Structure 1
Amino acid sequence: MTEPALLEVAWTDPITGCRGYLVIDRLVRGVASGGLRMRRGCTLFEVRGLARGMTLKEGLNYDPDGRYIPLGGAKGGIDFDPYDERARDVVARYLHAMRPLIERYWTMGEDLGLRQDVIDGVIAEIGLLSSVQAVYPLLEDRDAATERLADAFRIEVGGLGLDELVGGLGVAQATLTGLEMLGLTGPNRVVVQGFGSMGGATARFLAEAGLQVVGVSDVRGVVVNPDGLDVENLLRHRDRFGGIDRDNLKPGDELLPPEAWLDVPAEVLVPAAISYCVDSDNQAEIGAKLIVEAANMPVTSDAEELLAARGIRVLPDFVANSATNSWWWWTLFGDVNADADEAFGKVRTRMCDLVTAMFERATLDGLSLRAAALQLSERNLDAIQARFG
């Protein structure tokens, strides 16, 4: 049975009346890590699950020989439309209300519906040092660490920031290793649902690895091309929310309605946008052999059981999308420098090792991939508890 969260906070915006939440699932050495999301319909139940997922990510990536010391898990969420012109003001009021927790306990960054530059701007306005300042007391040399992280955030590769690329590379490497473990070494087609920070970078690295990205969706619909989409062209023509400019598509690209992302023939499906988008009803439309959860909690538990019965494997979110979180801390604590090649190498090696260990445990014990990953994470969480209390 999952232990109850350490702290749950519910907030009501005095201007719009919208609701916001913060859940701290666990503290390690007094600190928890997890992003802030904004979407219409966000609930406390959702944020609670996301916070638990962050605890599992931290545990899974524990290396007793590393400088990066895992933190606890937390998550924030605001039930508001990020496209609304009032969204930034809502974020500002939410962060101001959560200020005491951000100062001492909660390290946070961007998540669905929010960009890091928006969070950083608001954090500066309300007089805080950083969105991750709660971790500062754990650093040996704070000035060197924060300068290293700032330098890393200034790095761009092919027009995308390193902070965006590491998450997508992690998902892509998890996908490639998963396909290898399943023996699916032939030509593989991919559909990516969501083309924001995670989805866009994932699509780039999968295309670079030789997979055919045949479908990409945003809030307006699905762009498909059975011969493979020009991912770089789509990246050049998207807005800050991952919306694709329909006026700059290539010949052969076709448009389908939003719900058609499950219908596009492909071996791999990468949900990289919202939670609970694959449920017990629409899972029957999926013909892919592998689903890689780039988003947090995109596949419901009921749907996952039905997919398993049809032989479709689900590579869980707290494995596949953990690289962004780990890269922040690897950089801040000094396990990697502000260098793209070094960061990419660390992400590829770590994700390959994690996914391989998960598949091997699942095969050995007759478990689902999620159950195997849970065992690996919980083993590490026990070690963290023994070491730090």
Structure 2
Amino acid sequence: MPAPEYSFLDDVNKSFDKAAQLTNWDKGILQQIKACNSVYRMRFPIKRDNGTIEVIEAYRVQHSQHKSPCKGGIRFSEFVNQDEVMALASLMTYKCAIVNVPFGGAKGGIKINPKNYSVYELEKITRRYTSELIKKNFIGPGIDVPAPDYGTGEKEMSWIADTYLSLRPGEIDALGCVTGKPVSQGGVRGRKEATGLGVFFGIREVCNMPEVMDKIKLPLGIEGKKVVVQGLGNVGYHTAKFFREHDAKVIALAEYEGAIYNADGLNEEDVFQHRNKTKSILNFPGATNITNTADALELECDILIPAALENVINAENAPRIKAKIVGEAANGPCTPDADEIFAKKGIVCVPDMYLNAGGVTVSYFEWLKNLSHVRYGRLEKRFTENLNAHILSQIEELSGKKVSELERNFIHHGPEEVDLVHSGLEETMITSTREIIDVWHSNPAITDMRTAAFVSAINKVATTYVELGIFP
């Protein structure tokens, strides 16, 4: 008898149901929170460069409108299906609730391998997809705001924005219809590294909590921790970068073609350049090759960061995981079965539904920037610099001492947009981590951090429904 097909949506719902039992909300409210409100499945033709016609399959799912607009990325992948998009949309609802971003959850997907299409073909697909969303009122700054995801980036978001502007002339907030745009088209500085930086901030806060670190018998702080990162895409690259820059040791990096290991640490930029030249991370100078990329997940380390695929840690390999902390930078890398095994082994799994929320948090900042029509820092930068310079000169005059040039420049510095974005992201991740840990420790029945995160999300969404008067 063949094994049952894996369902990402089933896994998300299992985690939801487990947490829902630990709340006091009415079953009707819980059913409404769990359900996907709207699913748009579409087919449309495009003409390939060789003259043939191809029918494209695509989706947009709006999981919840408890807050508007809905928010979620668009992925280009040959593995896109309705189950996956619904699962990702539901995670977006819970993610936004946990990090206190006022959006409902949504997600989109186009079932293509972008490597098999020319840039012109991808532009046609993206623009047609956008026009289909506009027809059904599935996109707009107050309705549903897409963003980049797997297989998409600034280029695709700029096509979406341009298509929307052309079909909605005169709409003053039109640039707020999508986030992840180039800075020149209303994007925000700091967006590219946001998810990886958010992962770092979240794990760093966990590592600074004595009550957590005592349980897993690790010293406080990031410094000196051995880290393994699976995936060298945008998220994995920046996660590895920030850990390395803060004195952790990235001992292994894994990609689909294999993995490399160096006990003394790896520099992600050097590995990235090596891969660009050779088309593989294998045979990196000074590193040992690991032929089977899945074996990298089972290395002896302090922190494991799966930053690539869904379902990579499950009931089969979870017993062999040796990390003390698993940080889910990807969406759904660990199954509910893996969570149960981790809880028994005393491994702390920091869940994706908030840990990789750096992208949506900074997307929120970009959306606000588009609605306000002013760059962050433009109003206060010079005022802050002048004020700091005056305060410093008074202190030097009264004390009779001069500060070093390095410190002077630091004190004088007024916040640029990227400074404010990073600061806002840091505040978001620290606050969210503390909220989840408080929920975890306040209820003895909660055995893992994912359940605590779901309980926190359910409470926030349910409270919104009640306050709206939908469920008196």
TM-score (norm 1): 0.83
Counterparts of 1:209 and 1:244, CA distance in 2: 28
Aligned residues: percent identity?
A: 24
Deviates more, 1:379-388 or 1:162-171: 379-388
One-letter code aligned to 2:35:
P
TM-aligned CA deviation for residue 235 of structure 1: 4.1
**Backbone CA RMSD of aligned residues:** 3.3
Give the drift of 1:203.
0.8
* Structure 1 gap segments, 5+ residues each: 63-68, 156-161
Matches within 5 A, 1:185-264: 185=219, 187-237=224-274, 245-246=280-281, 249-252=284-287, 254-264=289-299
The CA deviation at 1:90 is 4.2
CA distance in 1, matches of 2:132, 2:351: 33
Q: CA deviation at 1:154?
A: 6.7
In the TM superposition, residue 148 of structure 1 has moved relative to its aligned partner by 11
Q: Which residue of 1 aligns with 2:338?
A: 303
Spell out the pairing of 1:340-379 with structure 2 (5 A cutoff): 340-366=418-444, 367=446, 368-379=448-459
Is 1:85 the counterpart of 2:125 in the alignment?
A: no
Of 248-257 and 369-378, more deviation after overlay is shown by 248-257
Residues 340 and 351 (structure 1), Cα distance of their counterparts in 2 relative to 1, 3 Å cut:
same
Residue 129 and residue 215 in structure 1: after superposition, are their counterparts in 2 closer, same or farther (change >3 A)?
Answer: farther
Aligned counterpart for 1:31 among listed residues 50, 56, 69? 69
Deviation, structure 1 residue 108: 0.6
Paired AA for residue 458 in structure 2: E
How far residue 83 of structure 1 moved from its aligned partner, in angstroms, is 2.3
Change (3 A) 1:117 1:207: same
**Inter-CA distance 109–10: structure 2 relative to 1 (3 Å threshold):** same
Stretch of structure 1 that moved more, 315-324 or 29-38: 29-38
Distance 1:92 1:215, change over 3 A: farther
* Larger-gyration structure (1/2): 2
Superimposed CA distance per residue, residues 237-285 of structure 1 (whole angstroms, 9 cap, x where no aligned partner): 556xxx9654893323535332222132211111111222222212222
Q: SS at the partner of 1:109?
A: strand
How high is the TM-score relative to the length of structure 2?
Answer: 0.69
Shift, 1:207, TM fit: 0.9
* Residue segments in structure 2 that go unaligned for 5+ positions in a row: 1-29, 46-52, 378-415
**Equivalent of 1:4, from 15, 35, 39?**
35
1:54 to 82, 92, 101: 92
Q: How does 1:252-291 map to 2 (within 5 A)?
A: 252=287, 254-291=289-326
Tell me how far 1:17 sits from its aligned partner.
Answer: 4.7
Conservation of the 8 A alpha-carbon contact between 2:99 and 2:429: no
1:330 aligned residue: 365
What is the aligned partner in structure 1 of residue 103 from structure 2?
71
Per the alignment, do residues 302 and 386 of structure 1 end up closer, same or farther by CA in structure 2, a change over 3 Å counting?
same
Distance in 2, Cα, partners of 1:175 & 1:29 = 28
State the distance in 2 between where 1:109 and 1:55 align: 15
Q: Is the 8 A contact 2:226 2:302 kept in 1?
A: yes
Query: Which residue number in structure 2 is paired with residue 128 of structure 1?
Result: 164
Distance in 2, Cα, partners of 1:40 & 1:310: 36
Compared CA separation, residues 119 and 147, structure 1 to 2 (3 A) = closer
Q: Deviations over 1:44-82 (max 9, x none)?
A: 1111111011111221222xxxxxx61211001233323
Task: Give, in angstroms, the shift of residue 306 of structure 1.
Answer: 1.9
State the match for 1:66 in structure 2.
none
In the TM superposition, 1:74-153 aligns within 5 A as 74-85=106-117, 88=122, 89-100=124-135, 101-103=138-140, 105-121=143-159, 123-124=161-162, 127-129=163-165, 150=184, 153=187
Count residues with an aligned counterpart: 367
Q: Give the C-alpha shift of residue 233 in structure 1.
A: 1.7
Check 1:244–1:272 CA distance in 2 against 1; reply closer, same or farther (3 A cut).
farther
Measured after TM superposition, the shift of residue 147 of structure 1 is: 11
